[in-house]
Structures are given as structure tokens and as C-alpha cells.
């Protein structure tokens, strides 16, 4: 960027419905060579079924930038409020739920 050039400002609108947000406690992540796809869902106790509430599709570069921004924000959060604890009970459950990545990825959707 030219040192004399000011960064471009982007005005982003937040609609009333979007401002309410969507609660998700499950993210399923798949990828192809050109895209990262994150499906967000909400799994509730004693409910055998769930559905995808939002699907976000982005380039690998944007996914890496998101990862960097999340890491930075989590560090700031923990500096202000303390360490976020991850319960070890998740490893004991037969079918874990939550924000975890499947391994290994082939890029194919299931």
C-alpha cells in the first residue's frame, strides 16, 4: 500500500434478524482444494436430531485469516477473564459433540 494512501473503509450493515445471532455448539468442517466449508448446528440434550443452521464457505486463505483473528481474540478474552477450561468429559463420551475437526480430511463431503 502506498504510504500516502488511506486504508479503504467498508460500511457493513447488520440487519435486525442477523443481530440476534444464532447459537451453535457444533461445527462440522470439510474442505476441498479451493474451499473450506463450516456447517454450524445446535445439538440439544435428549434430542436425537439436529440440522445445519448456517453454512459458511470461504477460501483457505480467508479461513487462515479467521483462525488468526480467533486466536488473537481468544488470547485477549483469556487475558481479561481467565483461561477457558475445556472439560475432559468430552473424551470419555461415546459420541463427542462440539467444535472438533474430523481426521483425516479427504476433501469429500459425507
- Is the four-CA dihedral 103, 35, 98, 43 of positive or negative sign? negative
pTM of the model: 0.70
Q: Which of 5-9, 54-58, 94-98, 104-108 has the lowest mean pLDDT?
A: 104-108
Note the pLDDT of residue 6: 79
Residue 1: burial class (beta carbons within 10 Å; 0-12, 13-18, 19+): exposed
Amino acid at each position: 500500500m502506498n504510504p500516502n494512501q488511506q486504508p479503504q473503509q467498508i460500511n457493513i450493515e447488520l440487519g435486525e434478524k442477523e443481530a440476534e445471532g444464532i447459537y451453535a455448539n457444533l461445527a462440522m468442517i470439510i474442505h476441498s482444494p479451493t474451499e473450506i466449508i463450516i456447517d454450524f448446528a445446535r445439538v440439544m440434550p435428549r434430542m436425537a436430531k439436529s440440522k445445519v443452521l448456517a453454512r459458511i464457505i470461504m477460501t483457505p486463505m480467508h479461513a487462515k485469516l479467521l483462525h488468526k483473528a480467533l486466536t488473537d481474540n481468544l488470547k485477549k478474552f483469556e487475558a481479561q477473564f481467565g483461561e477457558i477450561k475445556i472439560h475432559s468429559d468430552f473424551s470419555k463420551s461415546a459420541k463427542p459433540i462440539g467444535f472438533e475437526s474430523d481426521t483425516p480430511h479427504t476433501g469429500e463431503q459425507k
